[in-house]
Amino acid sequence: MTFIQQQGDTRRGRRALVAGSVGNLIEWYEFGVYGYFATIIAARFFTPEGGSEAEALVRTYASFALAFFFRPVGAALFGRLGDRVGRRPVLVLVITLMTVATALIGVLPTYAQAGALAPWLLTFLRALQGLSAGGEFGGAVSVMTEFAPPGRRGLYGSWQSFTVALGLLAGAGAAALLATVLTEEQLGAWGWRLPFLLTLPLGLGALWLRLRLDETPVFVAERTEETPPPREVVRAVALGAGRIMGWAAAGYTFLVVLPSYLQSSLGATFQQALVATVLANLGFAATIVPAGLLSDRLGRRAVMVTGAVLVVVLAVPLLNLLQDSGVSNTVKGVAVCGAGAVVGLMAGPGPAMLSEMFPTRVRYTGLGLAYALSNAVFSGCAGLIITETIERTGSVDIPAYYAAVACAVSVPALLTLPSARRAVVSKPGVERAG
């Protein structure tokens, strides 16, 4: 390979990283905003006259969960298209759908304006977001890892998770800024709409980047390869979902559900809850790329198992620390930052790990379905399960138990990963469960 060819491959690889990750950033920015404004959205869309705040918050998280259950549908639909016609055109389609659906949330009428129609309209748009998000992950990770140089799939794939952190931080930053410059009445009346409307210019920028994206060389070269048997793909999808269930549960518990939990269960203010969330996401962002790079050297198993075990050990002590009024805010800030960092150990190698489980002909569909199914159950339902269980039991330790149990169950699946680095430089193929 000539120097000019190498330079061209490097430029295309970097362009793939940017184009693949920008859509993911927008997706998680919106999901973060929805989570951070959950209490306000509950009051505007899910609180008819006579309804309680707790009931409204549960309904809000039910709508949140519904969007996640549309993700597997989107992963199957758009994944199949992406494996047949190419990654680029499908990624253009899903970013367009995501942008339009998110921007429309910013102009929806509330319950007071449209009655029972309002929550149904919101739920419909959340379903469209779920469809597009389901098609986003598989395509973005396929593009990033298929453009990655040999032995660098962990590093390239980690940028998908890194933009999750950036998206959540951007959402938290937007929420914190609005909570600072607007009064509580202004925020509830119209201020909450602004972060959703901001998605429109962001989405147009992402669309422009994806229109300039090249198709991956791997897809072009191997589009005629034999498709593996469906049974093998289904087994690999189930195994992949099991490997990332701890990442999904702990990530959403510590990075998205935390603000509403701190407000509703521990009496924190909106601003205090957002500060805690920003610190958690900063810790998350700090470890993702190093964890991906480390997994290229040590293997995916060592890094991801370490993250899962740390969540099992530390989740309950962390929550007890946050509940202790005698502990300083500085110590609590360090604790939530550390919690985010531990999740990053699983999120960094995760995309590459999933990508390596499937050959080119089914990669978009397979890794997208594994991710979507795990997130539908363990991320999308996190807020609903945690809020409802706390309401029924009165126990404020439920978030810690939820994250710890999911990671404990995930560890055996992660232990089936190869331990040596040879696994991360070999050609990907369908990995069988068991």
CA atoms within a 13 Å half-sphere pointing along the CA-CB vector of 262: 26
Average pLDDT over residues 245-272: 78
Evaluate whether residue 88 is within a structural domain: yes
For residues 271-284, average pLDDT: 83
The answer to the question of residue 63 being in a domain is yes
What average pLDDT does the segment 31-47 reach?
75
User: How many whole angstroms separate alpha carbon 292 and alpha carbon 305?
Assistant: 13
Domain that holds residue 155: 14-423
Is there a domain that residue 5 lies in?
no
| Torsion of Cα atoms, 414 then 416 then 419 then 421, to 10° | -80
Convert the pLDDT of each residue in 197-239 to its tens digit.
Answer: 998 998 999 899 899 888 888 888 877 777 888 899 999 999 9
User: Average pLDDT of the chain?
Assistant: 84
pLDDT > 80? residue 274: no
Tokens of 255: 């990075």
**Is 6 contained in some domain?**
no
- How many domains, in total, are found in the chain? 1
Lowest mean pLDDT among 7-11, 136-140, 313-317: 7-11
Based on C-alpha coordinates, what's the Rg of the chain?
Answer: 21
Is residue 5 over pLDDT 50? no
Token couple for 279: 């610190």
Which of 182-196, 258-272, 299-313 is least confident? 258-272
Statement: residue 91 has pLDDT above 90: yes
pLDDT tens digits for range 324-362:
878 887 888 888 899 999 999 999 999 999 999 999 899
The structure tokens listed for 271 are: 């601003």
Closest C-alpha to 418, from 406, 431, 405: 431
Distant-in-sequence, close-in-space partners of 334: CB < 8 Å, separation ≥ 6: none
* CATH value at residue 183: 1.20.1250.20
Q: What is the pTM of this model?
A: 0.83
Give the type of residue at 259: P
Task: Categorize the per-residue pLDDT at 6 as very low, low, confident or very high, splitting at 50, 70 and 90.
Answer: very low
Quote the CA–CA distance of 428 and 364 in Å, as a whole number.
13
2 domain residue, yes or no: no
> ∠ at Cα 104 (99, 110), nearest 5°?
150
The mean-pLDDT minimum among 39-43, 70-74, 329-333 falls in 39-43
Does residue 3 surpass a pLDDT of 50? no
Residue 3 inside a domain? The answer is no
d(CA 183, CA 180) in angstroms, rounded, equals 8
164 within some domain: yes
Which pLDDT belongs to residue 55? 61
Beta strands of 68-193 (E only): which ranges?
Answer: none
With respect to residue 306, please indicate whether it lies within any of the assigned structural domains: yes
